[in-house]
Amino acid sequence: MSQYTDEEWEEIGREWRRAANADDAIRLDAPSFIRWMKHAGYIKDYVCVPDADLPSEGKYEPDEGRLYYRNTSWRGALRGNPHDIWTLIHEGCHAILRHRETRLRAAPSARKFETRGVTRDETDTDRLAATILAPFHKADFKPGMSANDIEERFGLSNRAAKWRLEEFERLYRRKHGIPRPLPAGVIDFLAEQKRKGYPVTSLDNVRAFIPSPLKQYEGDACPSCKKFMLVRSGLSMKCDCCGTTTGDD
């Protein structure tokens, strides 16, 4: 388990973007970030080598203070390829977190041999890379946002965008005090028990906090209950939580 909360990871990532004078940008320039790490003294150097000379897409050598990348990975990042951008920042985050063992950007098939310590380090590195590349404060996140929206906004791979979406949803719920929605299977089970006559008194309350997938919340707080559950209703807006209706636009 990580030593940091989601919110703490977000702040750590933001501090590194600020230090690199990159916090104004939505999409991070990964090669420029790695160059800044060298000029600022966080790494001794970064080295691009022929693909055949490196068994993985990238490598961090802590004893040397160097990052190694395949030529194709560096060129791919320059072209804006999401996977290569992630590789550059991921290896840079090993240096930021001061991991003490050599780290390779390995293929998924090789990861089953990782030790528990290596796995923890890789998880932490991915968490930091995600907050640097796709920070919550730059997401303009609203309920109903999709992984494709995040992929397009930050230039992530679809896999990374899906993972980041789950984190954005957690952060948003905690920020606005919205209970975590129960899985559909749990709701269906409770409904079935109630239909059979069992006293399921909490079902209506549970349903009240489950946003409909067909609704797009506006992103503004309700002026009455302060929940972020306003939906468009003609020329006005109505709160799904307390029923308050705003005046016509």
For the chain, give every domain's residue range.
Answer: 6-176, 181-210, 212-249
Identify the bridge partners of residue 219 per DSSP, sorted by sequence position: none
**pTM, 2 dp:** 0.70
The answer to whether 53 and 86 have CB atoms below 8 angstroms apart is no
179 Rama sector, left if φ>0, alpha if ψ -120 to 50, beta otherwise: beta
Structure tokens at 240: 């799904």
Q: Output the tens digit of pLDDT for each of the chain's 249 residues.
A: 468 999 999 999 999 999 999 999 999 999 999 999 999 999 999 999 999 999 999 999 999 999 999 999 999 999 999 999 999 999 999 999 999 876 555 544 444 444 555 678 899 999 999 999 999 999 999 988 999 999 999 999 999 999 999 999 999 999 988 876 656 666 667 777 777 777 766 555 444 334 444 456 677 788 888 777 788 877 788 888 788 888 765
The model's pLDDT over 217-236, given as tens digits with 9 standing for 90+, comes to 677 788 888 777 788 877 78
| CA separation for the pair 45, 28 (Å, rounded) | 20
